[in-house]
Amino acid sequence: MTTASATISPTGCVVSANVLTLTNPFGSGTFTKGGAAFSFTFSSGGTNPDSVRDAGTFTVETFATIGGADYAIDSSTFINVFTPEPAILNATVTTVSSYVAYEDLTTYTLEITPNSVIPVGGYILVEFPPEISLTGSVTTCAISIGTTPTCSGASGSAPAITMDSAFTSAYSTTTNPF
């Protein structure tokens, strides 16, 4: 880990139970109140949240060790620090049963390759272009991972199909299509 002006030795930077502890980050000097901000880069590889939601609360505290005991100096809690973006999903329409205009009951086959684990209870939402009219209900909806999802359709200017109950176990074979 490096600061703006120094490298902190691995023994001075410890990660345990989601807590990063920097010991003696100023070497033989001290941090002066009102001085330039202290910044550092932790680049050993954290993992962002598993879905698009607030990353949670960060707490930063400073301590002095006096006579072998740690005493708090400053403390601050930060909320709404960042929200990760969704990973890019690779999806392709692989077959269309009819290419004839106004053809009813056309079947569309999509191949979806997730880049992230889809948890138990996760679902799939497929939004169709407004040029395609979905009927009010979806009669057949199949998925190639061995489950039979409950499917419902929505017609209108943004037709869509939602597949619920598709994941009775987490789909963790990322980069493999289903």
How many domains are contained in the chain? 2
pLDDT of residue 15: 76
Q: For the residues 50-73, what does the mean pLDDT come to?
A: 87
Least trusted range by pLDDT, from 14-23, 36-45, 51-60, 115-124 = 36-45
Q: From CA 155, how far away is CA 52, in angstroms rounded?
A: 27
Residues 70-93 pLDDT 10s: 899 989 998 888 888 887 888 888
Q: Which residues pair with 19 in a beta bridge?
A: 16
Q: Indicate whether 159 and 94 sit together in one domain.
A: yes
Q: Can you give the pLDDT at residue 10?
A: 47
Burial class (CB in 10 A: 0-12, 13-18, 19+), 122: middle
Q: Which residues contact 135 (CB under 8 A, 6 or more apart)?
A: 153, 155
Strands (DSSP E) found in 24-121: 40-41, 58-66, 69-78, 90-96, 108-113
H-type alpha helices, the chain: none
Domain boundary among 78, 112, 144: 78
Tell me which residue of 86, 136, 96 sits closest to 116, measured CA to CA: 86
Which of 38, 43, 46 lies closest to 74 in space, CA to CA?
38
Q: Please report which confidence band the pLDDT of residue 177 belongs to, taking 50, 70 and 90 as the band edges.
A: confident
Average of per-residue pLDDT across 11-38: 71
For the entire predicted model, the pTM comes to 0.57
Same domain, 132 and 95: yes
Would you state the pLDDT for residue 110?
A: 83
Phi/psi for 10 (5° steps) reads: -55, -30
In this structure, are 74 and 6 located in the same domain?
A: yes
- Tell me, what's the pLDDT at 71? 93
Both 73 and 53 in one domain: the answer is yes
Is 178 a domain residue?
A: no
Q: Is the predicted pLDDT of residue 123 greater than 60, yes or no?
A: yes
Q: Is the pLDDT of residue 172 over 70?
A: yes
Question: How many other C-beta atoms can be found within 10 angstroms of the C-beta atom of residue 161?
Answer: 19
pLDDT greater than 80 at residue 53? yes
Query: Between 43 and 50, whose confidence is greater?
Result: 50
Q: What confidence tens digit (pLDDT) does each residue in 149-167 have? A: 777 776 666 677 777 777 7
Q: How many other CB atoms are found less than 10 A from the CB of residue 119?
A: 13
Residue 15: which domain range?
2-78
